Structure 1
Amino acid sequence: MPQYFAPGVYVEEIELGGKPIEGVSTSTAGFLGQTERGPTTPRFITSWLQFQRVYGGVLGDKPYLPHTVKGFFDNGGKRCYIARITKASAVSATRKLIDEDDKAVMTVSAVGEGEWGNRIAVAVSKASLKKEAFKISVYYWKGALPEDGKLGETIADPKKSPQPAVTESFDNVSVDASSPDFYGIKVNGISALITISVEDGDTGALPEVENKEKNKPACLSGGLDFKGIVDEGKPKEVNAADKTIKLADTAAAVDGDLVGMVLEIVEGAGKDKQYSIKAYDKDSNSVTFDVDFDPAPDANSDYRITNPNSSLALYDYVRSATPKPGRKGLTAIADIDDISILHAPYSEEIAGLTTEMINQCENLRDRVVIIDSKPGAADIRAVDPRKATYDSMFAAYYYPWIKIVHPTSGNTIEVPPGGHVAGIYARSDAERGVHKAPANEIVRGAIDLEFQITMAEQETLNPLGVNVIRQFPGRGIRVWGARTTSSDPSWKYINVRRLFNYLEESIDESTQWVVFEPNDAKLWARVRRTINEFLTRVWRDGALMGAMQDQAFFVQVDRSTMTQDDIDNGRMIALIGVAPVKPAEFVIFRIAQVASGTDINQA
């Protein structure tokens, strides 16, 4: 308490009444999937152009994530986080920058793992203004390096065909950590392609800029989509007749998938590949991967797999063992509190992924997951998310896939609808509010559907929690369902679930000031007034039922909600009841023929 010792007038500021509750965002999406390039730690993206700068563009029909993100922004989405997924064993391409004595001074690395980093080249030259600084130019080729470019070597002319898809230039870069031009500030986090660091053995000094021959653009190397098997020592056996190489039984393997297996490499077995690798377990069961090798295997060299035809698995999406600063995939998405919509395009393709996403939503209780149906599901009897144990109030299931125009080729392709639906969520929230069911909305960018669904077919699917996308003559392609996959009738509508997510998260984040306050009637009154004012605003926005305020909600914080034991143990308990609006899913007009309208008296 303030103390007063001298006579005078004292002006003090005090707080009375409630504190305002700020509503949280309901339309920030979190997307997981594969991209052309980019970082694997989640990145905040606000436009399709920014996505292209950071992650590259579309690559044919697959991966689906670029089409998903474009559909999100085309349909009204504004904010999302991208978690790029690679094999857990993938590694980043690197290159050492050297000084005039050929000593390594710093390391340039691709911003994310994968073979794409091998198509980055860097060149160091004199800075324009500062003597104790340097200029670094960065080049990236989308498909292949120029004719005179090789992995890890210099490129005589980076402007030769093919032209680099991305070029970056950072001038007056300093090695002084106290300078505003320090590479850790000027390059790292700004470049969409590289990061600069000082590793063990690097001096951290100024890189060589005088020797023009030495400082031509040089390619990074060592980037792998799938870190290959490297035998300790030389191959165990070489058969010159059939050019088969057997490795040691104890050869180390990636992700633990092949540990303890006998490995055999056969020339020319893979389609469009130079080799295949077969792995045999103790029961002689085998699995085969199509691979490339760098260098090609022979009796006198070690080797590694550089590009196996190995699909992603659940472990690649869920990196639970990774320390928090470097978490990736679904585990990193869980740490981002802003996300309210979760989606991985065609998550059904990865066994267990959909269940993991639903589990995250149910544990955090601040987001919902959008699930795509399987492609080619023409038989509606097979479309039942509850059979796949997806019975959840935090999940929404959409069927069928949609057809769009490929943004570069102009061909018509089929893509999962989840990204477009997430954009519709955001559009509906902005135009009407989170309480409005995100249905009866046009799917922008969709030109056709994988299957045309009839009313009779939807009568079968709707009770199962399947949200159908339908095409109506003269009205376009629209989302025609707003249900969760839950069998609980109290939580069958996705807008009700999302409204409660919004209310709970908003109240949670804006009442943190209550913790450790004196737990007495004054605090209870302030909390009651705080929540009342917030829910009054929500009611006036049309999110709650009732013509009067007391019909829409109630807030109780008093002795009726707490016992003396609760108070003695530091618990303040508030009871809040709200009456959410439900969508008019079935609109029924009853019309009767009567002889005279005056004969019918309506109550």
Structure 2
Amino acid sequence: MPQYFAPGVYVEEIELGGKPIEGVSTSTAGFLGQTERGPTTPKFITSWLQFQRVYGGVLGDTPYLPHTVKGFFDNGGKRCCIARITKASAVSAKCKLLNKAAQNALTVFAVGEGAWGNRIAVMVDSGSLSGIKINVYDLKNENLDSAALAAMFADSKKQPSITESFDNVSTDASSPDFYGIKVNGASAYIVLKIESGDTGALTKEDKNEVKLLIGGLDSQENEGKPLNVDAAAKTLKLADSASSDIDAYKNMTLEIVEGTGSGKDKKYKITAYDKASKTVTIDRAWDIAPDLTSTYRITTTTLAVADFERDKTEKPEKKGLFAFADIDDISMLHAPYSEAVPGLTTALITQCEKLRDRVVIIDSKKGTAQITDVNPRADHYDSMFAAYYYPWIKIVHPTSGATIEVPPGGHVAGIYARSDAERGVHKAPANEIVRGAVDLEFQITMPEQEILNPLGVNVIRSFPGRGIRVWGARTTSSDPSWKYINVRRLFNYIEESLDEGTQWVVFEPNDAKLWARVRRTLNDFLTRVWRDGALMGTKQDQAFFVRVDDTTMTQDDINNGRLIALIGIAPVKPAEFVIFRIAQVASGADINQA
């Protein structure tokens, strides 16, 4: 309470009535998948050009994530969060920068894990004013070792163009040109760190010859020296630490990385793995059969659901789905063709149902020509937080110009964002053009959709003269109250907006004055939602009601610190079936008189 000791006029500011609630974003998508390169900690992207700068471009037909992101932006998406997925055992490439005394000064890491980092080269020169200058080269189309790299840079005509350059970089943490500010976070390729044994200092005199980053792996499942090699049988017996799972290494890659006369750097596909003898069989004859002094390495890029989920052991940086759980801005979740990874679709749905602030967009299985095989509920995807789309779409590859098939989820997420911006989250994201789609994997007819629609399958159809359109707006839920995806997303929007906009209520005195302020706050927000067309009714009391009084909470609730508000809303539903009943009459005037 303010205190007054001298006579006079005192002017004070007080708060009366409700507080405004700002509606949360509903159009930010969270995408998970493989990319050409880039960081594995989630990063927000606002354009296709920015995605290419950070994560690289498209790589043939797959991975699908680049096509998904491009489809998102082409269809009206404005912002998305990317979680690049690698095998959990993937390793980042790195190299050491030396001072003039040949001591380790700094360590250069690729910004993300994977063998892609082995193509990065760095050169340290004197800064134009002070400090050092770091040039970064992406040797994307080269396959070089250190000697070949030195030979390339020795010939001025063969030197590659600089991909990134950072001038006047300082190793002084108090400098505005400190590498932690100027390079880390700004570079799409490298991160500078001080490892144990590094001096942490480089000066203008500490030039470094061009160096390759090395040691990057997409995944290392096993490494060691062979216990036996049979050249004729094309087999290699693994070290004792090898897995005992019967199919542990089938279809993985075997590489000989060291050894005298052992076919170093040669790679083979493993076609079989014998559990009892721990012996792998390769797909072709040895280029040079390795001996027992050689070192082999087994790697794979095949992803499992655990590689997407990650968990709290990933300290200090969270990745994958585990990281997405902490990002409130995400309102749509999608992993392109999640059906290809057993258990991934279920994991996506589980997060949406747990957080209740996002929905997941699911792609149908590729090549499913028989509509009787399309049933998300039979696949245990019965959820009010999931929407399922069929079939795949065909697009023009952005670099080759060929027509390819891609999953539709990214394009659909863009349509969600476009519909939200143009009409609002309450509008069903259907009867909307799929921009970028030139054809469909399968043409779906009306009788076929009559079978799929009740199962919660949103069909994408081609209409003569009207183009390719999303022709469904249902969730996969069997609960008729949550049949439509726009209703689910409207509730997500209202619930998340109320959650974020009423945090000021916590620890306020729980009395009638607070109840009145909360009631006013909720009424003002829901009135705005109703006027935007998201709620039914021609009058406010037909659209919603708010109760915060002694009928919604008991004295026991108040004694235990609970303030309970009861809110009812009447969401608009889409006109999914438009029916015009027409009768033949003798005279229109007779009908009017009747």
**Alignment partners' CA distance in 1, 2:253 and 2:415:** 51
| Greater Cα shift, 472-481 or 319-328 | 319-328
Secondary structure, aligned partner of 1:81:
strand
State the 1:315 CA deviation. 1.0
Over 3 Å counting, the alpha-carbon distance change for 1:28 and 1:157 in structure 2 is farther
Over 3 Å counting, the alpha-carbon distance change for 1:517 and 1:157 in structure 2 is farther
**Alignment partners' CA distance in 1, 2:370 and 2:350:** 28
**Alignment partners' CA distance in 2, 1:544 and 1:349:** 39
Over the aligned positions, Cα root-mean-square deviation in angstroms equals 2.9
State the 1:240 CA deviation. 6.3
State the 1:162 CA deviation. 9.0
State the 1:334 CA deviation. 1.2
Determine the structure 1 residue equivalent to 2:35: 35
Determine the structure 1 residue equivalent to 2:295: 302
**Alignment partners' CA distance in 2, 1:470 and 1:194:** 44
Over 3 Å counting, the alpha-carbon distance change for 1:292 and 1:15 in structure 2 is farther
1:342 equivalent to 2:333? Answer yes
Q: Percent identity?
A: 73
| TM-score (structure 2 length as normaliser) | 0.93
The number of aligned residues is 585
Residue type of the partner of 2:431?
N
Residue type of the partner of 2:218?
D
Secondary structure, aligned partner of 1:304:
strand
State the 1:21 CA deviation. 0.2
Secondary structure, aligned partner of 2:134:
strand
Asked if 1 retains the 8 angstrom alpha-carbon contact of 2:93 and 2:117, the reply is yes
State the 1:345 CA deviation. 0.5
1:222 equivalent to 2:215? Answer yes
State the 1:487 CA deviation. 0.4
Asked if 1 retains the 8 angstrom alpha-carbon contact of 2:234 and 2:281, the reply is no
Residue type of the partner of 1:395?
A
State the 1:65 CA deviation. 0.3
State the 1:416 CA deviation. 0.3
Over 3 Å counting, the alpha-carbon distance change for 1:438 and 1:243 in structure 2 is closer
Determine the structure 2 residue equivalent to 1:103: 103
State the 1:170 CA deviation. 0.3
What are the superposed Cα offsets for residues 143-167 of structure 1, whole Å, 9 maximum, x if unpaired?
3246x76699785259766945x70
What are the superposed Cα offsets for residues 192-240 of structure 1, whole Å, 9 maximum, x if unpaired?
00000001010112167455xxx33211000001124222xx4333456
**Alignment partners' CA distance in 2, 1:243 and 1:14:** 84
| Greater Cα shift, 477-486 or 272-281 | 272-281
Determine the structure 2 residue equivalent to 1:194: 190
Asked if 1 retains the 8 angstrom alpha-carbon contact of 2:254 and 2:268, the reply is no
Over 3 Å counting, the alpha-carbon distance change for 1:340 and 1:414 in structure 2 is same
Q: 1:420 aligns with which of 401, 405, 411?
A: 411
Determine the structure 1 residue equivalent to 2:444: 453
**Alignment partners' CA distance in 2, 1:228 and 1:243:** 20
Q: 1:137 aligns with which of 135, 146, 149?
A: 135
Determine the structure 1 residue equivalent to 2:468: 477
Q: 2:172 aligns with which of 171, 176, 186?
A: 176
Residue type of the partner of 2:186?
I
Residue type of the partner of 1:281?
K
**Alignment partners' CA distance in 2, 1:160 and 1:522:** 79
Determine the structure 1 residue equivalent to 2:477: 486
Q: 1:358 aligns with which of 343, 349, 363?
A: 349
Over 3 Å counting, the alpha-carbon distance change for 1:161 and 1:17 in structure 2 is same
**Alignment partners' CA distance in 2, 1:325 and 1:509:** 27
State the 1:244 CA deviation. 4.3
Determine the structure 1 residue equivalent to 2:153: 156
Q: 1:498 aligns with which of 484, 489, 498?
A: 489
Q: 1:205 aligns with which of 201, 207, 210?
A: 201
Asked if 2 retains the 8 angstrom alpha-carbon contact of 1:245 and 1:266, the reply is no
Determine the structure 2 residue equivalent to 1:564: 555
Secondary structure, aligned partner of 2:121:
strand
1:588 equivalent to 2:572? Answer no
**Alignment partners' CA distance in 1, 2:533 and 2:154:** 63
1:280 equivalent to 2:274? Answer yes
Asked if 1 retains the 8 angstrom alpha-carbon contact of 2:246 and 2:273, the reply is no
**Alignment partners' CA distance in 2, 1:575 and 1:291:** 70
State the 1:279 CA deviation. 3.6
Asked if 2 retains the 8 angstrom alpha-carbon contact of 1:289 and 1:310, the reply is no
State the 1:100 CA deviation. 1.1
Over 3 Å counting, the alpha-carbon distance change for 1:470 and 1:277 in structure 2 is closer
Over 3 Å counting, the alpha-carbon distance change for 1:380 and 1:252 in structure 2 is closer
Residue type of the partner of 1:139?
Y
Over 3 Å counting, the alpha-carbon distance change for 1:291 and 1:509 in structure 2 is farther
Determine the structure 2 residue equivalent to 1:315: 306
Asked if 2 retains the 8 angstrom alpha-carbon contact of 1:237 and 1:246, the reply is yes
Secondary structure, aligned partner of 1:467:
strand
Secondary structure, aligned partner of 2:521:
helix
| Greater Cα shift, 328-337 or 49-58 | 328-337
Determine the structure 1 residue equivalent to 2:73: 73
1:388 equivalent to 2:382? Answer no
Over 3 Å counting, the alpha-carbon distance change for 1:291 and 1:518 in structure 2 is farther
Secondary structure, aligned partner of 1:217:
strand
* Structure 1: gaps of 5 or more residues: none
State the 1:249 CA deviation. 2.2
Residue type of the partner of 1:64?
Y
Give matches, 1:15-30, under 5 Å. Answer: 15-30=15-30
Over 3 Å counting, the alpha-carbon distance change for 1:8 and 1:473 in structure 2 is same
Give matches, 1:364-375, under 5 Å. Answer: 364-375=355-366
Residue type of the partner of 1:188?
N
Secondary structure, aligned partner of 1:342:
strand
Asked if 1 retains the 8 angstrom alpha-carbon contact of 2:536 and 2:570, the reply is yes
Q: 1:326 aligns with which of 317, 321, 324?
A: 317
**Alignment partners' CA distance in 2, 1:600 and 1:505:** 51
**Alignment partners' CA distance in 1, 2:166 and 2:176:** 13
Asked if 2 retains the 8 angstrom alpha-carbon contact of 1:30 and 1:343, the reply is yes
Secondary structure, aligned partner of 1:216:
strand
**Alignment partners' CA distance in 1, 2:361 and 2:509:** 42
**Alignment partners' CA distance in 2, 1:475 and 1:243:** 58
**Alignment partners' CA distance in 2, 1:298 and 1:141:** 32
What are the superposed Cα offsets for residues 231-290 of structure 1, whole Å, 9 maximum, x if unpaired?
2xx43334566574323323479x99959x9x997999xxx94463754335x7988787
**Alignment partners' CA distance in 2, 1:329 and 1:557:** 40
Secondary structure, aligned partner of 1:89:
coil
Asked if 2 retains the 8 angstrom alpha-carbon contact of 1:561 and 1:575, the reply is yes
What are the superposed Cα offsets for residues 270-326 of structure 1, whole Å, 9 maximum, x if unpaired?
xx94463754335x7988787999x99432233433xx4541111111102424541
